[in-house]
Amino acid sequence: MKKHGSKLIFILLLAVCAIFLFPVFIVVMNSFKSKFYISAEPFKLPTGETFAGLTNYIDGLSKTGFFSAFITSLFITVCSVGAIVLFTSMTAWYITRVKNKFTKLTYYAFVFSMVVPFQMVMFTMVKTANVLGLDNPWGLIVIYLGFGAGLSVFMFSGFVKGIPIEIEEAAMIDGCGPIRTFFLVVFPLMKPTTITVAIINTMWIWNDYLLPYLVIGSDYKTIPIAIQYLRGGYGSIDMGAMMAMLVLSIVPVVIFYLLCQKHIIKGVVAGAVKG
Amino acid sequence: MSSITLKGVSKIFEDGYKAVDSFSMTIPDKEFIVLVGPSGCGKSTTLRMIAGLETVSEGEIYIADRLVNNIQPKDRDIAMVFQSYALYPDKTVYKNIAFSLERRKMPKNEIARRVHEAAKILHIEHLLDRKPKALSGGQRQRVALGRAIVRNPAVFLFDEPLSNLDAKLRTQMRTEIALLHKRLGTTFIYVTHDQTEAMTMGDKIVVMDGGVVQQADTPENLYNNPKNAFVASFIGSPGMNFLEGTVEKGKSSLVALIGGDAVPTKKDSEALRSKQGQNVKIGIRPEDISLEGTVAPLKGILKVQENLGSEAYIYIEYQNTMLTAKAPHITHKQSGEEITFYINGDKMHFFDADSGENLS
């Protein structure tokens, strides 16, 4: 009976998996098709006649300035995620360990920021960024830190609550001040959460279109903006190049995810205290 | 010199709760002091104030004649072993033990030498490459001890270090910690709620209750001359028996009257005489009740007998109170039967019925 049930779940998961992977598959498949066949026969596999080889990729790379967009995207994503992980983990540690009205209020402010939709603050935020001189890649990193902080602080706080305080006290006796206690003892323990936070933020920052378009779109192109430029005037779109560039833009995130995946191990804290 | 002096130390928490009330004591260098008491008596809070993990609300703490009230834990030259071990889970045993030495920027070869020396003392040399989660409870406790001894600190603090171990391991580690104290010759302050641990390990025991020191004395004195009924009941296993009664003048000595029964006693004091005819609390250790004797036989109902092999505990109902007697072996009587027993009157303790102060 139990075996039967697990088989059913397996089949169900397989079906869900197929549904999720189908769009990716369509994009990859069409990136190898000649651009005129993409809109005509989007679901057909490329055959001798429709197969375009790497033409779309070469086309796309030359038209979009993909490499410079890649560097811009990489710079913004890596720095933003780095800043988010560093600052929100410290913040979460502080507001979890130091209990007073201020930290409580701060925590709720972070949680509240998660439910405010981007579109609501979009225009005021862009104007503010402009006034403060944040309309450049460095400024964008600061803005991403703000948008990513809510969820990240929330996740880190949850994890810090599970770290036995005795470990930190032991570190204090062993010769650590607060900064060393954090970086030498607490932060290494946060690894699973750090990786999860990094993956979540990498995905949305890497894929984000609207924020960089609004803030730095006129001077710098990230990959999503560069791909968007493949939409020519009067509705003409180079579908082939677009598909190819989409595939290229997915690859780094997928690689990053696969690299991190093995590090997400539950129960890293197990063994520190009794049990 | 690493003596510790506490002068009127109190801890009042933010909610107004007074966990420790005017704790004053001088702990001489190289002594093994045990703080013992029931949960919430303030023993751990006292220890944490000495460690610097808790601020001192009132009073002063000196370690080696240096006022440490406002000194960081890391600068107090102490080492602490926690109940939950508090090992760094992501670091190997070697790194766990070496951590404090690395923080003090000690040369690498010196660190290695010290870590191996500590590991050798604690028999954990073969575990140095493992991480805490791959160790058993006893091994983790040894690593926690290793982390403390590697530093060569002025004072060792132990916060119920054996509570998470099983009974057999606990007895074994108890001996090892006592041996460690002899070997290192450093001041040890040990907190426990287990009076057996306290009695077997400490040079001196501090019994606490409600944040107040009840008595600080050697194990023998605590056992034989408890200052009050609380200390008398807390120290000793099985605990002291208590009966209500009065003290009257007998022919040649004082006599304890329990219900209608009279038990003569050689105990005598001003305080005891002043309570003649008034209700007092009479304390009798289980080993001072026997089933064989000549003077003043008492009758009770046998309830339960527990055979421990080398000795037996006999539970007797007497005047609506359950008494525990320690006997060499169990009797042939069945539970429910009447049994004759004798109380060693000279070993009785008399306590004030209200304050609980020892009168004898």
pLDDT in tens, chain B (360 residues): 689 999 999 999 989 999 999 999 999 999 999 999 999 899 999 999 999 999 999 999 999 889 999 999 999 999 999 998 899 999 999 999 999 999 999 999 999 999 999 999 888 999 999 999 999 988 999 999 999 999 889 999 999 999 888 888 888 889 989 998 998 889 999 999 999 999 999 999 999 999 999 999 999 999 999 999 999 999 998 999 999 999 988 888 888 888 888 888 888 888 888 888 889 999 999 999 999 888 889 999 999 999 998 999 999 999 999 999 999 988 888 999 999 999 998 999 999 999 999 988
Q: Name all domains of chain B by residue range, CATH numbers in brackets.
A: 4-234 (3.40.50.300), 241-352 (2.40.50.140)
**Which residues in chain B are contacts of A181 at CB distance < 8 A?**
none
Mark yes or no for CB contact B74/A172 under 8 Å.
yes
Q: What is the DSSP string of A97-156?
A: HS-SHHHHHHHHHHHHHHHS-HHHHHHHHHHHHHHTT--SHHHHHHHHHHHHHHHHHHHH
Please tell me which residue of chain B has the smallest CA distance to A170: B86
Distance from CA of B112 to the nearest CA of A (A): 17
Question: Across residues A98-118, what is the average pLDDT?
Answer: 93
A263 touches chain B (CB under 8 A): no
Please tell me which residue of chain B has the smallest CA distance to A169: B53
What pLDDT, on the 0 to 100 scale, is given for residue A275?
38
What pLDDT, on the 0 to 100 scale, is given for residue B168?
87
- Going by the DSSP 8-state scheme, the letter that residue A52 receives in this structure is -
Grade residue A272 by pLDDT with cuts at 50, 70 and 90.
Answer: very low
B166 touches chain A (CB under 8 A): no
Please tell me which residue of chain A has the smallest CA distance to B162: A274
**Which residues in chain B are contacts of A268 at CB distance < 8 A?**
89-90
For the cut 50, the answer to whether the pLDDT of residue A268 exceeds it is: no
A147-181 confidence digits (pLDDT tens): 999 999 999 999 999 999 999 999 999 999 999 99
φ/ψ region of B5 (left if φ > 0, alpha if ψ in -120 to 50, else beta) reads: beta
Mark yes or no for CB contact A167/B99 under 8 Å.
no
Nearest CA among B277, B278, B248 for reference residue B264:
B248
Q: Please say whether the beta carbons of B155 and B125 come within 8 A.
A: no
For the cut 60, the answer to whether the pLDDT of residue A7 exceeds it is: yes
Share of residues in chain A with pLDDT > 90 (%): 52
Q: Please say whether the beta carbons of A120 and A185 come within 8 A.
A: no
**Which residues in chain B are contacts of A166 at CB distance < 8 A?**
82-86
Strand order in the sheet with B289-290: B289-290, B338-343, B298-307, B312-318, B321-327
A133 touches chain B (CB under 8 A): no
Mean pLDDT for all residues in chain A: 87
Mark yes or no for CB contact A172/B85 under 8 Å.
no
Please tell me which residue of chain A has the smallest CA distance to B77: A173
Cα A103 from chain centroid (whole Å): 27
Question: Which of B49, B91, B133 has the most A C-beta neighbours within 10 Å, making it the best mutation to test the interface with A?
Answer: B133
**Which residues in chain A are contacts of B134 at CB distance < 8 A?**
271
What pLDDT, on the 0 to 100 scale, is given for residue B144?
93
Mark yes or no for CB contact B74/A274 under 8 Å.
no
**Which residues in chain B are contacts of A175 at CB distance < 8 A?**
74, 100, 103-104
d(CA B307, CA B316): 15
For the cut 60, the answer to whether the pLDDT of residue A273 exceeds it is: no
What pLDDT, on the 0 to 100 scale, is given for residue A61?
87
Long-range contacts of B14-22 (CB under 8 A, 24+ apart): B18/B211, B19/B45, B19/B211, B20/B45, B20/B46, B20/B49, B20/B211, B21/B210, B21/B211, B21/B212, B22/B58, B22/B59, B22/B212
Distance from CA of A55 to the nearest CA of B (A): 50
What pLDDT, on the 0 to 100 scale, is given for residue A171?
94
Please tell me which residue of chain A has the smallest CA distance to B156: A173
Pick from A177, A191, A273: which is nearest to B86 by CB? A273
What pLDDT, on the 0 to 100 scale, is given for residue A2?
61
Please tell me which residue of chain A has the smallest CA distance to B104: A175
A179 touches chain B (CB under 8 A): no
For the cut 60, the answer to whether the pLDDT of residue A269 exceeds it is: no
Mark yes or no for CB contact B90/A270 under 8 Å.
no
Q: Name all domains of chain A by residue range, CATH numbers in brackets.
A: 67-261 (1.10.3720.10)
From chain B residues 81-140, the ones with a CB under 8 A of any chain A CB are: 82-90, 99-100, 103-104, 131-135, 137, 140
A24-69 confidence digits (pLDDT tens): 999 998 888 887 788 777 788 888 777 878 888 988 888 888 889 9
Grade residue A263 by pLDDT with cuts at 50, 70 and 90.
Answer: low
What pLDDT, on the 0 to 100 scale, is given for residue A81?
97
d(CA B18, CA B6): 17
**Beta-bridge mates of residue B63:** B4, B66
